[in-house]
Amino acid sequence: MRAVKLGFCIFIMMAIGAALMAQKPHNVPGADERYKVDILVVVAHPDDEIYFSAYILRAMQEEHKRVAVIYATRGDSGGNGEGRERGPALADARETEARDACARLGITKVWFLNAVDTAQQNPLVSLARWGHGENLERLVALVRLTRPEILLTHLPAVTIGEDHGDHSAAGVLATEAFDLAANPLAFPEQLSGEMHEYEAALSNLRPWQPSKLYFTSDSSDRHRFDGSGPRYSVWGLSPAEKKPYWRLALESALMHRTQFPSEVKAALLMNDAEMEKFFTGPASEWWPEPLTLIFGKSVVGGSASEDVFAHVNGRSELAQDNHANPQPQSSGVHIELGGPWGFLAQFGRAHGLPDGLMPQSPEIAVKSGTRLVIPLVVKHDPGTNVTIHLAVSAPEGWIVKNGESDFPLPAAEAETTIALELETPAQPRPGIEELVLRGEIEGKPLGEVKMRIQVNSGALPQ
């Protein structure tokens, strides 16, 4: 009888427990920890991870940081040094190479955006061909998925030596994603929570603010960015593999067989001393000592030259960066550069990047015997009838094809763009030349724009 009573009590308690369970609110699952990383690398092409590989190895092996890499493109228009038979399948080959190279670094989280490899110099052309909005949306989703503290990407600037528009375009996307991922109003459908319908279109991500943003640049002026960020030795010794980081970075880079076939073959024949000279010597384009990361911005304070992870506290979802530097204001008639130079200068200020990162004078490297178009923006007060005269001072050998003339500025507009078209000298020139573009009204100087130009035997088209 006692046993029957006890059984009845247990039954009642279980029933109450089940009723309470049924009323418990259903929690939306938290962030997916499988994707969490510390460092997110955002680069344009398979092989661009090489800019960061020596640092990444150090961060992974000495500090146990988790790293993911995002390539904007699959490198479909790049060269194929291995042989033309793989031409149509080059993007597939390069994706495999990139995954192999990352695996050699110890990275298994690798994504590709949907951007088209666009081999020319203008990041605006790259962004137009890529579908800027679609790929920014994808990148913001991946920042929210991987929740990195640190973003590493290309410097969004046009410099002599850094001549690929896709690189600065990838830097634009990554900087925008750094500033947008924490904003719940940006791509809100990514933050819709767990849904039982349309789950393939909606996602359960959370806003995320990375702590710091760093850049790399291919500028041919090796010392331009000295002091602009932390420096790391490429000769640091891997505790796991007992080899210097540059050597491990090389083993990873050699996976890009379609891109560096001659280096792959040459490296196999070199002894250690030859290898060191070729890959790490002061003249090397691979891993010259030391590796400098260019500081872009931080939402957790600290100075540019401090260690990448200084002040990073893992609570960066609480911070949100809205810092912008003021845009210069002008009145009356004023001339400035448009196109990628004008955009990137404005972009750097809008996203609060340090002033010193942009070249003091706009610059570009161009091919000899080709065409250079320089868009000039004339800002003027609407409602007034003004004619501006544009003049160009160029070194011998340059030919002004178009734009050196009088321009009546339309009274209905506040801004008029004039494209100056020049033919570059027939032969490459040593050193850097300067073009001066002047505006004047009725003989009175209005201002000038100076451009530094290197005329090379080869350069990507403008």
Residue where the block lists tokens 């939306």: 28
Task: State the minimum distance, in angstroms, from the CB of residue 159 to Zn ion.
Answer: 14
Q: Given the rule CB under 5 A, which of 41-49, 222-230, 289-297, 328-336 is the region that contacts Zn ion?
A: 41-49
x/- track of binding to Zn ion for residues 48-67 (CB under 5 A): x-------------------
Task: State the minimum distance, in angstroms, from the CB of residue 44 to Zn ion.
Answer: 5
Q: Given the rule CB under 5 A, which of 44-52, 94-102, 212-220, 415-423 is the region that contacts Zn ion?
A: 44-52
CB of 126 or CB of 209, closer to Zn ion: 126
Which residue from 99, 109, 100 is spatially nearest to 60, judged by alpha carbons?
Answer: 109
The single-letter DSSP state of residue 119 is -
First vs last C-alpha separation in the chain:
95
How many chain residues interact with Zn ion (CB under 5 A)?
A: 3
139 binds Zn ion (CB under 5 A): no
- Distance separating alpha carbons of residues 195 and 462, to the nearest angstrom: 47
44 binds Zn ion (CB under 5 A): yes
CA angle 155, 449, 455 (to 5 degrees): 65
CB of 45 or CB of 66, closer to Zn ion: 45
- Distance separating alpha carbons of residues 370 and 354, to the nearest angstrom: 34
Q: Are strands 406-409 and 386-393 parallel, antiparallel or unpaired?
A: antiparallel
45 binds Zn ion (CB under 5 A): yes
Task: State the minimum distance, in angstroms, from the CB of residue 296 to Zn ion.
Answer: 19
Task: State the minimum distance, in angstroms, from the CB of residue 56 to Zn ion.
Answer: 17
Q: How many CB atoms lie within 10 A of CB 397?
A: 14
The tokens for 123 are 């990041």
CB of 45 or CB of 380, closer to Zn ion: 45
**Residue with the shortest CB distance to Zn ion:** 45
74 binds Zn ion (CB under 5 A): no
Whether 241 and 248 have beta carbons less than 8 Å apart is answered as: yes
Binding residues for Zn ion restricted to 361-400, rule: CB under 5 A: none
Task: State the minimum distance, in angstroms, from the CB of residue 381 to Zn ion.
Answer: 43
Task: State the minimum distance, in angstroms, from the CB of residue 166 to Zn ion.
Answer: 6
Whether 134 and 176 have beta carbons less than 8 Å apart is answered as: no
Task: State the minimum distance, in angstroms, from the CB of residue 435 to Zn ion.
Answer: 27
- What angle, rounded to 10 degrees, do the helices at 339-350 and 165-180 form? 20
CB of 46 or CB of 230, closer to Zn ion: 46
3 state DSSP class of 43: strand
Q: Given the rule CB under 5 A, which of 28-36, 47-55, 209-217, 402-410 is the region that contacts Zn ion?
A: 47-55
Q: Given the rule CB under 5 A, which of 37-45, 111-119, 207-215, 417-425 is the region that contacts Zn ion?
A: 37-45
Q: What dihedral do alpha carbons 289, 294, 295, 297 form, nearest 10°?
A: -150
Backbone angles phi, psi at 422, to 5 degrees: -125, 150
Task: State the minimum distance, in angstroms, from the CB of residue 446 to Zn ion.
Answer: 39
Task: State the minimum distance, in angstroms, from the CB of residue 420 to Zn ion.
Answer: 29
Q: Given the rule CB under 5 A, which of 6-14, 40-48, 62-70, 335-343 is the region that contacts Zn ion?
A: 40-48
Q: Given the rule CB under 5 A, which of 42-50, 58-66, 355-363, 372-380 is the region that contacts Zn ion?
A: 42-50
Give bridge partners of residue 448 from the DSSP assignment. 438
CB of 364 or CB of 446, closer to Zn ion: 364
Q: Given the rule CB under 5 A, which of 38-46, 366-374, 425-433, 441-449 is the region that contacts Zn ion?
A: 38-46
Task: State the minimum distance, in angstroms, from the CB of residue 346 to Zn ion.
Answer: 24
CB of 52 or CB of 187, closer to Zn ion: 52
Task: State the minimum distance, in angstroms, from the CB of residue 163 to Zn ion.
Answer: 10
The single-letter DSSP state of residue 117 is P
User: Amino acid identity of 223?
Assistant: H
CB of 73 or CB of 424, closer to Zn ion: 73
For 264-294, give the DSSP string.
HHHHHH--HHHHHHHHHSTT-SS--SSEEPE
For 77-102, give the DSSP string.
TS--TT-GGGSTTHHHHHHHHHHHHH
CB of 118 or CB of 211, closer to Zn ion: 118
- For 83, 92, 100, 327, the CA distances from 86, given in Å and listed in that order, are 6, 9, 18, 48
Binding residues for Zn ion, per CB under 5 A?
44-45, 48
